[in-house]
Amino acid sequence: MLLDYCCRCCGFTLIKRHGPLSLKTTPSDSWVVLQNLLMCMVCFYSLYYIVVSLCIGLLSVHEINSLLAPFDYTTQPSWQNPKYLVGVISTEVTYVLGGLVFAWIVEEWVWDYAITVTLLHVAMTVAVMSDFPSAEHWWIALGLGLVMMIFGGQLLAYKLFRSNFVYPAELQNF
């Protein structure tokens, strides 16, 4: 979705469409999507670093690099390892709170922004750590966090913005 909006904004056709496009997007619509994505990314990492700092303080962990904490998948998984606990707890809490914040920012497309932010987080992790994450515990934590972000955020968005939601039956007459 993000790539499609970027291409439309620049006037470049990347995806071949069969038939007319039912939604007419303008460059201003594309900029709104990019602005929302930027706000979601800033909120996500702000939340991440706040939660990491709180976990480091509460668990009294001193041998952790707080700047690399969101990207560190190399810590050995053990419930007795406070460094691992900081990583897991901060990831899950950030994803839960991030879904709620995303609902406030984007109103109804929480799942789309959650997946996009997670993919960008994986890309940033690869860039920061100079290696592709192969630790299954990191992927499991990321996947569970993403599921909680989507369900929590979509549920909150539905409750708050119920009158704005587009239902499948209404899409037929759009």
In a domain, 112, yes or no: yes
Question: Which tokens belong to 100?
Answer: 């709620």
In a domain, 8, yes or no: no
Q: State the residue range of the domain holding 129.
A: 37-171
Cβ atoms of 146 and 114 within 8 Å: the answer is: yes
Question: Which tokens belong to 51?
Answer: 């939660």
In a domain, 105, yes or no: yes
DSSP letter for 25, please. Answer: -
pLDDT digits (tens, 9 = 90+) for 142-169: 999 999 999 999 999 888 887 766 656 6
Cβ atoms of 106 and 98 within 8 Å: the answer is: no
Number of residues assigned to the chain: 174
Lookup result for tokens 């991030």: 98
Cβ atoms of 6 and 34 within 8 Å: the answer is: yes
pLDDT digits (tens, 9 = 90+) for 79-107: 999 999 999 999 999 999 999 999 999 98
In a domain, 79, yes or no: yes
Question: Which tokens belong to 137?
Answer: 């515990």
Question: Which tokens belong to 146?
Answer: 């993403």
Whole-number Å distance between alpha carbons of 122 and 111: 17
In a domain, 89, yes or no: yes
Total domain count, the chain: 1
Question: Which tokens belong to 99?
Answer: 């879904």
Q: Stretch 113-140: mean pLDDT, rounded?
A: 94
How many CB atoms lie under 10 A from the CB of residue 105? 17
In a domain, 3, yes or no: no
Run of H or E including 36: helix 27-59
The per-residue pLDDT for 11 is 54
Question: Which tokens belong to 37?
Answer: 């994505």
Q: How confident is the model at residue 27 (pLDDT cuts 50, 70, 90)?
A: low
In a domain, 14, yes or no: no
Whole-number Å distance between alpha carbons of 93 and 28: 33
In a domain, 24, yes or no: no
Q: Is the pLDDT of residue 4 over 60?
A: no
Question: Which tokens belong to 143?
Answer: 């996947």
